Structures are given as structure tokens and as C-alpha cells.
Chains A and B, each alone.
Chain A
Amino acid sequence: MTPLTVNGTTHQLDVAPDTPLLWVLREHLGLTGTKFGCGMALCGACTVHVDGEAVRSCSAPLSSVAGRKIVTIEGLAALAGRDLHPVQQAWIEEDVVQCGYCHSGQIMSAAALLAKVPKPTDADIDAAMSGNICRCGTYQRIRAGIHRAAALAAK
């Protein structure tokens, strides 16, 4: 049995240890907010937080995250102690999403950025967010959303 704390709840998982965290979350814990886009850390749709760092769950086997603290998109607001994390709020205000499929990962990456860099520059955003693909092309709104989130968080 592998222990795993996800969004504050500790689970004991009877799952093969080579199972990527992504599938543990989606299929064994029913948390489908974290998405599958490529399966090899190329698209970022599967981004979660592991001990506060952005990690691509499709490439992190359960064994590598055992006993660690995972936060998924479902737990992000609670992490911020609000109804919505400033990034989520900013995304709504800036009308960022289109199909929305990439945005769990986009938001988790953006939140990880803002946790370390509260007032990111455009260069910071390029560096932090170019791992997250959006086929709908919402990049300039993601950028605006991050700036807005920084302003919201500063309030």
C-alpha cells in the first residue's frame, strides 16, 4: 500500500507503483480535473503540485511521489483558502479559456509561478509557461490572466 496525500486527504493506495500519478489521480481517486494530453511531459496538461512544485504527473510514477503532498486543480482554491484561487478568478475575469482542456495544467503552472514570483514579468511568464501547450491558442489571455492574478493576489 502506498500512502499519498492529495488535496489534504491521505490515501492508502493499492496501485502498481509504476503507475503514473496522472492515472492514479484520474482513475483510482476519480479526480479527473488533471488531464491527459501527451503522456510524456511535453504538453503540461497533467501538471499538479508535489510539495509545492509544479510536476507533470504523467511522468511521475506513484513510487516517486509516495508520502508526498499532492495538490490538484480540484484542491487549488482550498490551498489559497478562498472560493477560488486568484489565478482561477483572473482566468474568469479575463475570459481566458476556450475549450478549457489545457487549463487545469495552465492554472497549476501559473499558480506555481506566482507562489515563487508574485509579480512576474513577461519574460518570467515565457519561461514558466512555455511548457504548457494550448491548441486553442489562448496564450495572450493566459499572460493577461497571470498579470491579473498577481494584482488580485496583492490585494
Chain B
Amino acid sequence: MASFHSIAGFHLVTGAVVIVGSAAAMISGCAADASRTTSSESAAERARSQAAFVEIAAVLRHPRCINCHTVTDFPRQGDAGRRHAQFVLRGPDNHGVPAMRCNSCHQDSNQENGVPGAPHWALAPLSMSWEGLDDNQLAEALKDESKNGGRSLESLLDHMAHDPLVLWGWNPGGTREPVPVPHETFVRRLEEWMATGAVSPEPSP
């Protein structure tokens, strides 16, 4: 069941929501023209929204992202998502434990010796863990302000588009594979998803 902010002041209780208007108008929170549409157009837009999210999910689940969006009390490493070496732990503030803080080893940028780095290097809080979530749960978690760090869709998009730690996924240094989907594509998919109602894919059966 999709849920989102009532931006245009117009929604259908059936759970299929259609907003017609520019994505920019939607996310700016301004009232947008909402024209009535046919249900097949609504269904199509819903499907496009969900399809956009599937591509977004592929990025989120890539090791460069999900290795720090774990559900565990430790980060992961490598494309196989191995437990981080050296018994590195999340710690109560997601930044490691005394004497083994994330920034004991990780700097603000990738180092020549292969140690990856970016500003604010740390684990995402457990509320932002993505491991084990299906596409539906992932989308729901992303949109849930109680889980996503109090972010509106707009600020979520801003985070994904500009945060240096997020951007690191595309410039991981060493021999690490960057996220294969280009960042600009990822951002566009996010914008499309949000413009089409940020519809979550159907839950898994």
C-alpha cells in the first residue's frame, strides 16, 4: 500500500496514487495541477514508479552501498560482503568503538595504499539497514521518516545526489568495483520514482 505525503492535496484512497505534473513541482511542495486521469494511466504510472525503484534498489544493494547499510553489528567488505576484517564493530554510535573508530583507519578520501575514505565515514544507523529487505521493504524503509534520519523525499534525493559518502560508491578507489549504474542515472531514477508517487514495489509473496 503506497503511502506518501499528500502534496497535491489529491489522492485516491484505493492506494493507487497518481500525480500528474512535473516532478519538480511535486517535490517543491507547491500545489500542482492535478488532472484526473484514467485508471489505466494511473496503473501505468504506478508501474513506472515501481520499475524505477527496482533500478534504484540495484544500486542500494550494490556492495559499495550495502556493505555499510548492514543489519549487523559490523560492516562488510568486498564484493562478497565478507564481514569486515579486524573484528571491526559498529559501536553504539555507528562510528566504531574506542581505539577502533571508523576514522582510526578511514580518512576523508581514498588513500594511495588502498584504504577507502570519504567524509563522515561510518556505518548507516540500523534503521537504515537494507540487508535482507525485499524491494517493497526497501522502498518503505527509504521513505519512512522515522527510519531514514528524518528526511523528506526532497532531502533524501539531495542526500543521494550530493552527499560525498554516497558519492564514494562511484569512486571507491583501490580495486573496488564502483556502482555500475552511473550516478546521474541513479539520481534520475530517484527523481522519476519520486515524481511518479514513489510507489513501492509489491511485497514479495
Interface residues of A (CB under 8 A from B): 18, 39-42, 47, 53-56, 58-61, 64, 109-110, 112-113, 115-117, 124, 126-131
- CB <8 Å contact, A58 and B99: no
Q: Does B105 contact A (CB under 8 A)?
A: yes
Q: Does B184 contact A (CB under 8 A)?
A: no
- Stretch from B21-29, B52-60, B106-114, B160-168 that touches the partner: B106-114
- CB <8 Å contact, B89 and A61: no
Q: Does B103 contact A (CB under 8 A)?
A: yes
- CB <8 Å contact, A131 and B112: no
Interface centre among B85, B101, B111 (most CB of A within 10 A): B111
- CB <8 Å contact, A59 and B100: no
Chain B contacts with A in 96-129, Cβ cutoff 8 A: 97-101, 103-108, 111-115
- CB <8 Å contact, A112 and B99: yes
The answer for the CA separation of A113 and B104 in the assembled complex, in Å, is 12
B108 cross-chain contacts in A, Cβ below 8 A: 64
How many B residues face the partner with a CB closer than 8 A? 22
B87 cross-chain contacts in A, Cβ below 8 A: 126-127, 130-131
Q: Does B88 contact A (CB under 8 A)?
A: yes
- CB <8 Å contact, B103 and A55: yes
Residue of B nearest to A111 (CB): B99
Q: Does B86 contact A (CB under 8 A)?
A: yes
A54 cross-chain contacts in B, Cβ below 8 A: 98-101, 104
Known A126-B87, A127-B89: A59·B115 in contact at CB below 8 Å: yes
Q: Which of A47, A53, A109 sits near B103, CB closer than 8 Å?
A: A53
Shortest CB-to-CB span from B91 to chain A, Å, is 8
- CB <8 Å contact, B98 and A117: yes
Interface centre among A40, A47, A58, A129 (most CB of B within 10 A): A40
The answer for the CA separation of A64 and B86 in the assembled complex, in Å, is 23
- CB <8 Å contact, A131 and B114: no
The answer for the CA separation of A59 and B110 in the assembled complex, in Å, is 10
B89 cross-chain contacts in A, Cβ below 8 A: 127
A53 cross-chain contacts in B, Cβ below 8 A: 101, 103-104
Residue of B nearest to A129 (CB): B99
- CB <8 Å contact, B99 and A40: no
- CB <8 Å contact, A116 and B111: no
Q: Which of A42, A64, A116 sits near B107, CB closer than 8 Å?
A: A64
- CB <8 Å contact, B99 and A109: yes
B112 cross-chain contacts in A, Cβ below 8 A: 18
The answer for the CA separation of A87 and B99 in the assembled complex, in Å, is 14
- CB <8 Å contact, A131 and B107: no
Known A40-B115, A61-B111: A127·B100 in contact at CB below 8 Å: yes
Q: Which of A41, A64, A110 sits near B99, CB closer than 8 Å?
A: A110
- CB <8 Å contact, B104 and A55: yes
Residue of B nearest to A126 (CB): B87
The answer for the CA separation of A103 and B115 in the assembled complex, in Å, is 23
The answer for the CA separation of A83 and B85 in the assembled complex, in Å, is 36
- CB <8 Å contact, B104 and A42: no
- CB <8 Å contact, A60 and B99: no
